[in-house]
Amino acid sequence: MPNHAQSEEITDSSLSLDAGRMLLDTALLDNPIWNALSTEHVKLALGDERARRYPTEIGPLSGIPAQTEESYEALSELAEDGVVVLFSVEPIVPAGGLHVVRSGPIVQMVRKTRGVEADAGELIPRKLTAEDAPAMVALADLTEPGPFRLRTLELGNFYGIFHGLELVAMAGKRMHLPGLVEVSGVCTHPAARGKGYARRLMQIVIDEIERDGKTTLLHAYSTNPAIRLYEALGFETRQEFHFAALVNGG
């Protein structure tokens, strides 16, 4: 794995939020996973018009157009013997053999203002590659920013900071919708916190999204203390969702 000496420095290119921003259909955000898998990520989607999910090696995020028996039965087939994850504005009441193994509230935040931008300082982030995937999964397993698998980085560019050969912080892109891209996988090793790494990496990803004229969003557990950081970067809460991890049986 490359170390700092082999790293390529990533530079800032912050733009106004109004510069080249696309017109948005914000209704897409009311069912973000389903709409990502039906638009920008349809080529990755498994399933059909009843239920869709990302491949298991990418992650468990899944979507249904509505909470119907038919959709839950289709989602149950896609789950097989693993976990599928839903976001819903309405309470999640599974059917079709699925039951909840984890649930809770999450917030959806959209970047509305520039916020206070990160200071580049002495940090030397670099773009992560497939060779870094095991280290990315290990960091995500330790810090639990949300589901992360070996192929998750195929969803968009991820950037990381290393201490020697150890990946200690990362951030990247996950769901893509028309005019919208989600920042995700934001995490820092406990031993490296308090150094501004997450803020710096998020700023790189945000700048990249906004250079393309798109709007940045994110999802976070409602109790996540990092919400204060997201607000400082210009994010505002748009909607609260029910989150549920579902499995077959039970």
CATH number of 193's domain:
3.40.630.30
Given a cut of 70, the residues of the chain with pLDDT beneath it are: 1-24, 117-121, 250
Out of 64, 84, 104, a domain closes at 104
Within-domain flag for 201: yes
Same domain, 10 and 134: yes
Supply 83's token pair. 């976990």
pLDDT at 17: 53
DSSP state of 9: P
Is the pTM value of this prediction over 0.85? yes
Within-domain flag for 43: yes
CA distances from 24 to 40, 156, 164 (A): 14, 20, 42
What total number of domains does the chain contain? 2
pLDDT at 243: 97
Out of 85, 104, 123, a domain closes at 104
pLDDT at 120: 56
Give the domain range for residue 36: 29-104
pLDDT at 123: 73
Out of 77, 104, 131, a domain closes at 104
Of 18, 26, 33, nearest in space to 234 by CA: 18
